[in-house]
Amino acid sequence: MKDTRFIVVEGPIGVGKTSLARILSKELNGRLILENPEENPFLSSFYTDRRRHAFQTQLFFLISRYRQHQELSQMDLFEKVVISDYFFQKDRIFAGVNLDSAELELYDQVYSLLNPYIPEPDLILFLQANTDILMERIRMRGKGYEKGISLEYLDELNQAYTNFIFHYSGSPLLVIETTDIDFVNNREDLDDLINEIKRTKKGIHYYVPMGRRER
Q: Which residue segments constitute the domains of the chain, with CATH numbers given?
A: 6-35+42-208 (3.40.50.300)
Give the catalytic positions in this structure.
85
Q: State the CB neighbour count (10 A cutoff) for residue 154.
A: 19
**pLDDT band at 201, cuts 50/70/90?**
confident
Split at pLDDT 50, 70, 90, the class of 215 is very low
Q: pLDDT for 145-167, tens place per residue?
A: 888 899 999 999 999 999 988 78
- Measured CA to CA in angstroms, residue 86 lies from 106, 189, 214 at distances of 23, 22, 31
∠ CA(198), CA(158), CA(109), 5° rounding?
90
Distance CA 200, CA 194 (A): 10
Q: Which residue has the higher pLDDT, 3 or 149?
A: 149
- Measured between its terminal Cα atoms, the distance across the chain in Å is 30
Three-state DSSP at 50 gives helix
Computed over every residue of the chain, the mean pLDDT equals 89
> 172-207 burial, b if ≥16 CB within 10 A, otherwise e?
bbbbbbbeebebeeeeebbebbbebbeebeeeebeb
What pLDDT, on the 0 to 100 scale, is given for residue 21?
Answer: 96
What's the pLDDT at 76?
57
Which long-range contacts (C-beta less than 8 Å, at least 24 apart) are formed by 16-21?
16/127, 16/129, 16/137, 16/178, 16/183, 16/184, 17/85, 17/86, 17/127, 18/85, 19/183, 19/184, 20/85, 20/125, 20/127, 20/183, 21/83, 21/84, 21/85
What does the pLDDT read at residue 84? Answer: 93
pLDDT of the residue at 66 = 93
Confidence of residue 135 (pLDDT cuts 50, 70, 90): very high
| Residue 14 pLDDT grade (very low, low, confident, very high; cuts 50, 70, 90) | very high
Percent of the chain with pLDDT over 90: 63
Q: What angle do CA 62, 73, 34 make, to 5 degrees?
A: 55
CB contact at 8 A, 149 and 43: no
d(CA 37, CA 21): 16
pLDDT value at residue 174? 95
Task: Determine which of 67-81, 143-157, 171-185, 199-213 has the lowest per-residue pLDDT on average.
Answer: 67-81
Express each pLDDT in 55-102 by its tens digit. 999 999 999 999 988 876 666 555 678 999 999 999 999 999 999 999
* Confidence at residue 1, expressed as pLDDT on a 0 to 100 scale: 53
Statement: the pTM of the whole predicted model exceeds 0.85: yes
**Largest CA-CA distance found in the chain, in angstroms, rounded:** 51
